Amino acid sequence: MKITEFSGDVITKTVVNAMLEKSNVLREVEFYRMVGNADYTRKVSNASGGKFRSVNNDYADNQVDPQFANPTLKIFGDKVQTDRAHERRGSDIASVRASDLLSFAYSLGKQFQNYFFNGDSSASPAQFDGLKKMVPSSQKITAATNGLAVQLGNSTTAKTSQQQFLELIDALIQSVDGGAQAICMDGTLLSRLTTIARDQVSFQLNEFGQQVAFYNGIPILTSGFDKSGNKILPFTETVGTSTDCTSVYAFRSGEKEDLSFATNVGVEVKDLGLVGVHYTYSVDFDLDSVLLNDKAIARLEGIRLG
């Protein structure tokens, strides 16, 4: 299920649509409905694939050792407070409140985008885990010992680095079981990819009038900025001796399969009316990230700009 498929009133739908406008990953990921505080969900089976046997000989034992994910809902949201003084001073308080709520929803979408990559359940209060923490070590690709500098130009060194980068992107896509549904990278890196592989990158307008890039038909989701204007996937990661690296992620999402999100009712918006000196909205989103197939996500680390 997409987040828009959960029921909600007009105000809630307005908040969700504003979040979607600012979070391209929220538009792509799938949710499933759960009841209670926690769930116990079975992951992909580890049973081996088919094999041959001889006549009158049985197959060897192929017992499944079940693995489970245990999502526990985290509460993501905030209060939106508008001072009643605006009303006393002649403002249309309903319009002011609507504007404040919309502005908040945009920021909430940016924050979901940030936590999708950088969330950490060990934080206090607990967040949902982002891709950076969830990607298994077997699904990490290191571009080079000290990072790969993707250079511009037509020199032999530059062309070699460009070809290596494209091969690594292809390897990242192929490392996702069933093929990546989306690729995620910083916008500056997308510009470099577009420059060196113009024939493989195309663009289409989405429902919000935004240009979305595609690499060989796979959408590229630019990671963008958090609510404070900080890059979500900056060139500040350390690989070997290089401290100016970034990562590229790929994922596949499904409803209660691959990479998924658990929630109960989706986004909930409540008008609490006048509380003290503020007209107040409460926005809550109970959710948790769930990795049900370890091969549904992958990370390419150690990419630099040369």
Q: What is the pLDDT of residue 38?
A: 86
* pLDDT interval class at 34 (50, 70, 90): very high
Please tell me the predicted confidence (pLDDT) of residue 95: 97
Strands (E), the chain: 31-33, 41-42, 68-69, 74-83, 140-142, 148-150, 182-185, 201-205, 211-215, 218-222, 237-239, 242-251, 253-254, 257-275, 278-291, 297-305
Q: Could you tell me how many residues make up the chain?
A: 306
Within 119-250, where are the H helices? Answer: 131-134, 156-174, 187-196
Range in 65-79, 91-105, 109-123, 261-275 the model is least confident about? 65-79
Same domain, 175 and 301: yes
Whether residues 161 and 245 fall in one domain: yes
Domain that holds residue 82: 3-45+69-130+258-293
Bridge-based pairing of strands 242-251 and 297-305 is antiparallel
Q: Please indicate, yes or no, whether residues 179 and 282 belong to a single structural domain of this protein.
A: no
Between 53 and 192, where is the model more confident?
A: 192
- Is the four-CA dihedral 184, 188, 193, 198 of positive or negative sign? positive
pLDDT tens for 1-30 read 999 999 889 999 999 999 999 999 999 999
pLDDT in tens, 44-103: 877 777 888 899 999 888 878 888 899 999 999 999 999 999 999 999 999 999 999 999
> Looking at the structure, do residues 178 and 38 belong to the same domain, yes or no?
no
Q: Is residue 57 part of a domain?
A: no
Q: What is the mean pLDDT of the chain?
A: 95
Same domain for 12 and 89, yes or no, is yes
- CATH number for the domain including 109? 3.30.2400.30
DSSP code of residue 297: E
Same domain, 151 and 223: yes
- pLDDT, residue 8, reads 86
Sequence-separated (6 or more) residues with CB below 8 Å from residue 54: none
201 plus 282 within the same structural domain = no
* Same-domain pairing of 248 and 265: no
Using an 8 Å Cβ cutoff, are 295 and 177 in contact? yes
146 and 91 share a domain? no
Q: What is the CATH number of the domain that holds 301?
A: 3.30.1930
> With the C-alpha atoms ordered 25, 31, 35, 38, is the resulting torsion angle positive or negative?
negative
At residue 61, the pLDDT reads 83
Residue 40 sits in the same domain as residue 89 = yes
Q: What is the pLDDT of residue 211?
A: 92
Whether the ω angle into residue 234 lies within 30 degrees of 0, i.e. cis, is no
Query: Do residues 171 and 243 both lie within one domain?
Result: yes
Percent with pLDDT over 90 in the chain: 89
- Residue 112 is assigned to a structural domain of this protein: yes
In whole angstroms, how far apart are CA 302 and each of 144, 168, 222, 240? 7, 11, 17, 9
For residue 96 the two structure tokens come to 């002011």
Query: Quick check: 160 pLDDT over 90?
Result: yes
Please give the tally of structural domains in the chain.
Answer: 2
Residue closest to 165 by CA, chosen among 141, 131, 132? 141
Percent of the chain whose predicted confidence (pLDDT) is above 70? 100
